Amino acid sequence: MSPYNLLPRFKAQYDANSQEFSISGVVRPQAIDELGPSLALLREAIGRVRGVLYVNVRRLAQMNNAAFYAFSRIIIDACRARPDLKFVVVTSSVVGWTSRKFGRLTRLEPNITVEEYDSEFYPGQGFLEEGGFVPILRTQTKMTWRHEREILPRHGMRPGIVMADICCGIGDFAVLVQKEFQPSRIVALDHSISSLNYARQVMREFDIRGIEYTYGDASEMLLDEAQFDLVTCRHSLQIFNRPELILKELYRICKPGGRIYITNEKNSHCLGEPRAESIRWTYNEVAKLFAHFEMDVELGPKSRRYLIEAGLEDIRIETFMVTNLDGDPQDFADVIVAWSDVYAGEMAAKRGDGPEFVARFRQGFQDHIFAALHPKGYAGWPIWVASGRRPQ
């Protein structure tokens, strides 16, 4: 057995169809000979391609200097020997050091560029990652939790399980689950550093234990496969432009026999009385606004189809309506105020909406608030809950 075979912690491969050489895992050789097969594979790839060779390091967790210089030397030499060939190094913001480290190569050779593949991956994510959205998320979770704490046991939640909360946001759902159901372990992952900082702050302030907050890309996680009894992903598939990629990863990390639990909305079904027509018009426009930024806030009823197409079985789906009658109506109104500020504010401006449209758009939110706070009013926000079991 060669030294290379003794190092199963990394993998190098070449995909001729996409002209992509990729290396992933932990690459920390003690001697350069340990890299022999993978260096030879890179040389072979260079010899076969025309135009562009993609060097994919977005799943590279660690690489020591010996390995970095060995791979870099081959790429730089190839640039000088074959000026017709270009290299695109594909990194990920999740493993931030890769962009910085491989970025040095672009200063040495103009034929090398570095692309952070997920920098444009979530077109609308920026609206939701800002600190100003935290009050919305906290109030929303407060209102939905009244329903979900009753629903979750029907979808696989029970004490002692190992669970992952993917796209955990500000981490408040994980905290509530920890208090209510006491899983043996919770891994909570999100793509937003500001949200995770907030989550860790809450965990410290509330002296919560047993939650591991992790930075990561939900579409390509650095989590081992088949390790969680329950994988939750709430209100998140609808804000990604490629939800099937997220589901593929949720499936991968879920144990056979475990369940994947998702929640999503259908914004055009938000309702209120009085002033129903104005409210209906505005929420139809909300759906169009999100679609402009490649988000689908109409995904809720599509949940069953997505879970089936992901390969899950025993699909369970139900809905609940968050209303102004769930506790304090002001909580409901506060959520709508926050939606109005973001949707009729930054998002509408970014889309280029004119003042006449924005005024009518904002009026629908005002009417929803009016319905929520009216002594005889009713205001609702529907949520779809669905889960599926990974086959044994």
pLDDT in tens, 272-296: 999 999 999 999 999 999 999 999 9
C-alpha span between 332 and 281 (Å, rounded): 19
Q: How far is Cα of residue 123 from the mean position of the Cα atoms in its chain?
A: 12
Most confident of 105-119, 170-184, 310-324: 310-324
C-alpha span between 69 and 60 (Å, rounded): 15
Tell me the CA distances in angstroms from 372 to 338, 376, 379, one per residue in order. Answer: 14, 9, 5
**Which phi-psi region, left, alpha or beta, contains residue 218 (left: φ > 0; alpha: ψ -120 to 50)?**
alpha
Q: Which of 232, 235, 281, 226 is nearest to 254 (CA)?
A: 226
Say what the pLDDT of residue 165 is. 97
Q: Is the pLDDT at 172 greater than 90, yes or no?
A: no
Say what the pLDDT of residue 207 is. 73
Say what the pLDDT of residue 226 is. 97
Strand residues in the chain grouped as ranges (E): 10-15, 20-27, 52-56, 60-63, 86-91, 112-116, 162-166, 185-190, 211-215, 228-234, 254-265, 271-273, 313-323, 378-389
Share the mean pLDDT of the chain: 88
Q: Is the pLDDT at 200 greater than 60, yes or no?
A: yes
Q: What is the average per-residue pLDDT within 96-124? A: 77
Q: Is the pLDDT at 259 greater than 50, yes or no?
A: yes
Higher pLDDT, 209 or 121: 209
Q: Is the pLDDT at 26 greater than 70, yes or no?
A: yes
Most confident of 105-114, 176-185, 364-373: 364-373
Say what the pLDDT of residue 39 is. 95
Q: Describe the chain by its helix, strand, coil percentages, rounded to 5.
A: 50, 25, 25
